[in-house]
Amino acid sequence: MAISRRSFLKGSSLAAASSLVAPSLLGNPFVRRAFADTIGDRYFLSIFLDGGNDGFNTVIPASNGGGSLRDAYDTARTTGAGGLNVSPSELTNTLIGLDPGSGAQLGLHPGMTGLKQLYDLGKVAVIQGCGYPRQSLSHEEARMAWQSGTPPGTNIGTGWIGRYLAANYGGNDIPGVCIRNEVAGEMRQTATSVLATSRMQSLRFPYDREFDSDIARKRAAFLGLYQGAAGATLPMSAYVGGSGVSTLLATESYNGLHDLYVNARGTFNQAYEDADRSMARDLREAAKVIYGITQGAENVHARMMQIANGGYDTHSDQGGGQSDGQHFDLLAEVGNSLKLFYDDCVDMGVADKVVIMVWSEFGRRVSQNDGGTDHGTQYPVFVLGGSVTGGVYGNHPNIDELALSDDGNTVYSQAAADSFRSTDMRDIYGTILKHWLGMPHQTILQNVLALDSGDPTQRWTQENFDMGFLA
């Protein structure tokens, strides 16, 4: 039985097409379509550590170098019951480079042996002292600042990746996939579409249950309705129709990625199963998208992906370097999952085509509380991939007690002569946009990264977006 337009609009679980406008439609995670690959045969993956990861126990000074970083760390982080201090001996197996400002030897948390292996391959950039002016200790505000790429007080309601997508893709495109049930803040915008699904296998077109259970007949009815609208002269009808066709085809295509990957890549699929961690499972979903593209899966073209991993709001029971500690467990999950995903990409032949950025909304205070850490400011960001120039970038923040703010946090600084000069988040984003996503410097300034007119110390020159971790 054919379904009339009136019956469809009345009975469908989707919003009535006649009442939709483009911005609200684009907020629907089911609205998506294949797009032209403007970044070429490349992928970008944003990984959010939700809760505020303790950066000072993630990248740790193992010595003083020419300064007093290790002494300051030992003063702030105690040993013994509830102590968070990670000793130099515990860092023996995870030592990385030297802090550029002080020359202090640095090490990754002992739980991050997986990431250390990638660092030793030259595939990890450790970017220290990351933050922004007028830093907020509110989870929501800080998350919004990093997602939008604008400091508090200048937020413009869209994401930094979203503005890149809006500048390069149309309303029926699918430039991004969020491995979750909502569109991530960094991809938010009103010009194009983003797919959001926690698992490819469970993705389905939202057929209305009031209609006949015969899926083939439902599919034909929806497809005919959307195709008819797509051919209309009224722009909104054509837009809704084109989006509807894309919705139907994309749900079928992305759903099929599960079987395609599992059947062809059984060894790696089992390795993700054996890891039995949420980040590993989410990274496997990203691997399914990438593998589908390498195999020419129809209607699968998204090159931008996002994953979130929670549990980093460690006000208590954080632990130091001991293997049964909460922070050890969290960081081991990150490092081991990333190593597995990278090995998967190597095996697929795409490791040089994937760049991953790992970030959190803020760090933690330098001094510990009874058994954890309170909300802080600057922290390290990791960028990794086969095309990344590995090493240590940016300066470790000044953690000397006398240099801290009144609330015990490190101070954001852009003073050129400061050996603890901060890394602005927009320098990281600009480097990725320019050197990985192929966006011209001036376009980045005008269309993507909102400059902070309230901070006269910011100098947004060519060098700001040439940090060196991407050629």
Kindly report, residue by residue over 88-116, the tens digit of the pLDDT.
999 999 999 999 999 999 999 999 999 99
- DSSP SS3 for 47: strand
Most confident of 22-36, 223-237, 283-297: 283-297
Among the listed residues 418, 425, 315, the one whose alpha carbon sits nearest the alpha carbon of residue 365: 315
pLDDT for position 7: 37
pLDDT for position 392: 98
Query: Rounded mean pLDDT of 431-460?
Result: 78
**Could you read off the pLDDT of 181-191 as tens digits, one per residue?**
999 999 999 87
Among the listed residues 117, 54, 61, 153, the one whose alpha carbon sits nearest the alpha carbon of residue 364: 54
Model confidence at 25: pLDDT above 60: no
Query: Rounded mean pLDDT of 387-403?
Result: 98
**CB-neighbour burial class of residue 241 (10 A; exposed 0-12, middle 13-18, buried 19+):** buried
Among the listed residues 197, 225, 151, the one whose alpha carbon sits nearest the alpha carbon of residue 28: 197
Q: What is the mean pLDDT of the chain?
A: 87
The pLDDT-based confidence of 35 (bands split at 50, 70, 90) is very low
Task: Report the C-alpha gap between 401 and 379 in whole angstroms.
Answer: 17
**Could you read off the pLDDT of 244-287 as tens digits, one per residue?**
787 788 888 999 999 999 999 999 999 999 999 999 999 999 99
Q: What is the pTM of this model?
A: 0.89
Residues 6+ apart with CB under 8 A from 396: 59, 61, 69, 99, 101, 102, 104, 106, 128, 129, 420
Judged by average pLDDT, the poorest of 127-141, 247-261, 265-279, 448-462 is 448-462
CA distances from 325 to 83, 225, 319, 321, 398 (A): 11, 56, 5, 7, 26
**Could you read off the pLDDT of 290-323 as tens digits, one per residue?**
999 999 998 898 999 999 999 999 999 999 999 9
